[in-house]
Structure formats: C-alpha cells, structure tokens
Amino acid sequence: MPDENCIFCKIIAGEIPSTRVFEDENCVAFNDLHPQAPAHILIIPRLHIDSLDKARFEDKETVGHLLLTAAEIARESGFAENGYRVVINTNSDGGQTVFHLHIHLLGGREFVFPPG
Ligand code: 5GP
Ligand code: ZN
C-alpha cells in the first residue's frame, strides 16, 4: 500500500518529479536530488517497506531484485568495472532520512572504507 506521507511513494506515483534512469514492475530507479558522487542513483521498491529493518523474509524477492538491479544499472552506466558502492542506510544511527526502503548506488569516483 502506498503511504500518503511518503515522498518516495509520491515519486513512484509521479506526484513529485524525478529523473528516472530505470523502472520495471518491481522497482523504480532515479537520480538522487543531492548527489554524493558523479553517479548517485536511488533504487526503490514499488511496494512501500519502511526500511531494511522492516523487511521480512517474504520480501526476499523484492530486496534481491533491488540489489541485482543496482548491479545492472552500474554495468549499463559504465562504472561497474572501476567499481561502485551500494548503501542501505537503516534507522537513526544508520543515517536513514526517508523511510521507504532504498538502495544508494554510488559510482564514478573512489570511496573510502569505513564510511563516516
Ligand atoms: P537516506 O538518508 O534515507 O539514506 O537517503 C535519502 C536520500 O533521498 C538522500 O540522499 C536525499 O538526497 C534523497 N532525496 C530526498 N528527497 C528527495 C527527492 O524529493 N527527490 C530525490 N530525487 N531524492 C531525494
Ligand atoms: Zn513509500
């Protein structure tokens, strides 16, 4: 069920504009509004799930689909061979600000580990 207060559900519905780079029956991918790398794409499920913490084993196809879609977008975008970072910020200490599960796909530069 879409959450009427969720900005990512509104992006899926087209009520908030975004630059989509990929979509299919399970997910939508679009450029982050405040990019942290030359490529910074968010991949979100069409199904509203608050966070990874709220995902359950019955969501495994949805979550797996997001991850494999991130890898496919990285290859299609041309930065897979150099490398990239995928991030799922979860809850407060994880730095999550939008509570609709999303994968950050960051590419086009080198990243340090551990992240801050
Ligand atoms: P989080 O902090 O929850 O892991 O990531 C939320 C991300 O959503 C942030 O990187 C932020 O820049 C991005 N974001 C927030 N609002 C919007 C929006 O309206 N449009 C787009 N494209 N990205 C957004
Ligand atoms: Zn949502």
Asked whether residue 42 is domain-assigned, the answer is: yes
pLDDT of 4 > 90? The answer is no
Of 111, 102, 109, 114, the C-alpha closest to 41 is: 102
Q: Tell me what pLDDT residue 1 has.
A: 64
H-helix or E-strand spanning residue 21: strand 20-23
Dihedral, CA atoms, 1, 57, 11, 103, nearest 10 degrees?
A: 170
**CATH number of the domain within which 46 lies:** 3.30.428.10
Residue 84 domain boundaries: 7-107
Cβ contacts of 47 within 8 Å, gap of 6 or more = 26, 59, 62
Please tell me if the CB atom of residue 106 comes closer than 6 angstroms to any atom of ligand 1. Answer: no
Mean pLDDT within 96-107: 98
Q: Are 11 and 49 within 8 A, CB to CB?
A: no
Quick one: which ligand is closest to 8's CA?
2
Residues having C-beta closer than 5 Å to ion ligand 2: 3, 6, 8-9, 48, 100
Asked whether residue 2 is domain-assigned, the answer is: no
pLDDT of 27 > 70? The answer is yes
Query: Ligand 1 center to residue 6 CA distance, Å?
Result: 11
Asked whether residue 28 is domain-assigned, the answer is: yes
pLDDT tens digit string along 53-96?
A: 999 999 999 999 999 999 999 999 999 999 999 999 999 999 99
Q: What is the mean pLDDT of the chain?
A: 97
Measured from the Cβ of residue 83, the count of other Cβ atoms closer than 10 Å reads 11
Cα separation, 54 vs 97, whole angstroms: 15
pLDDT of 23 > 70? The answer is yes
pLDDT band at residue 3 under the 50/70/90 scheme: confident
Query: What is the count of structural domains for the chain?
Result: 1
**pTM, whole model, 2 decimals?**
0.97
Asked whether residue 113 is domain-assigned, the answer is: no
